[in-house]
Structure 1
Amino acid sequence: MEEDILRRIGTIARALDSIANVEFKEIELNRGQYLYLTRIKENPGIIANHLAELLSVDRTTTARAIQKLEKNSLIEKKNDQKNRKIKHLFVTDKGEKLAQKIEQENAYSNELALTGLDSVQRAELTALLQIVEKNVSANWYFVKNGGKREY
């Protein structure tokens, strides 16, 4: 039987998520909100639908996270100049400071996770994971839009 690679990826993701949730609890961020904050920082002016797609989560979950981040004054919404129904998302100064701390934790976790791998191995792992991410994202879009997978 082939090794279940997705199980290992899931274990890694859950462990890092649990660590981040514990560490970020003290800085007013609930479960997973740090992902939304950093993506908004990386993509100033992004709209909620694009943010949801970027993170491969549903729009309702994204809307709740945005609402909490806005309530905590970490992000702000600005109206689109042409269409008032469209709201662009930006981090506030408070959000910027928090996002920098989150990025430091991410760099630390990356280095810790990749300990023992040389630069060639790291590049190879990155390339392979990009392929896996592309495959899974394409399937996520398919299912999200009503597609049925045949097992």
Structure 2
Amino acid sequence: MMKNNPSISRFLSCLYRHTQMYFDRQLQPYEISYGSLAFLMVLFHHDGIHQEEISQKLSVDKATTARAIQKLVELGYINRVVDQCDRRAYQIFLTARGKALRPQLEALTRKWTAHLTDGFTAAEIEQSFRLLEKMSQNARRFKNLL
């Protein structure tokens, strides 16, 4: 345990706020916010995924996903299509305009990660990712206990 047992939440909150400010500023030309970025990143790797699966992958409620999807549809970055096998479900597909964003958004993400890990060794970066992944898993598991 660290001296004086500092709250990890304080550090996570600081990281989140600064990350949000960085991306909100960088994403202005595309008319999207940091909140929309996660939805697009999921689609870059899982184009055609069901809307409900996006909610699960991002650990957000269905209403949040529906609002984000609607905004991205309005901006022309994605299409929402009724699933032919299950007419109650929707598949989400990137449009050509949405696919064209991928290089820019991935570059912004790499740039921010490089900034956050400035001065880290390769081993420290790898360990940081492993520890953050483990914390995320712990948080999800705890959420499921509530």
RMSD of aligned residue pairs (Cα, Å): 1.4
Task: Write the distance in 1 (CA, Å) between the matches of 2:34 and 2:120.
Answer: 30
Alignment pair present for 1:3 and 2:6: yes
TM-score for both structures, normalised by structure 2: 0.90
Structure 1 residues 12-31: aligned runs within 5 Å: 12-31=15-34
Query: What is the count of residue pairs matched by the alignment?
Result: 143
* Identity over aligned pairs, percent: 24
Question: 4+ residue stretches of structure 1 with deviation over 6 A?
Answer: none
TM-superposed deviation, 1:103: 0.9
Under a length normalisation based on structure 1, what TM-score does the superposition of the two structures give? Answer: 0.88
Residue 34 of structure 1 contacts residue 99 of structure 1 at CA under 8 Å; is this kept in 2? no
Choose the corresponding residue for 1:140, options 119, 140, 143.
143
Residue aligning to 1:80: 83
1:103 to 102, 106, 109: 106
Matches within 5 A, 1:102-121: 102-121=105-124
In 1, Cα distance between equivalents of 2:25 and 2:144:
31
Query: 2-side partners of 1:86 and 1:112: how far apart?
Result: 40
| Gap runs ≥5 in structure 2 | none
Letter aligned with residue 110 of structure 2: A
Contact 2:82 2:90 in 1 (8 A): yes
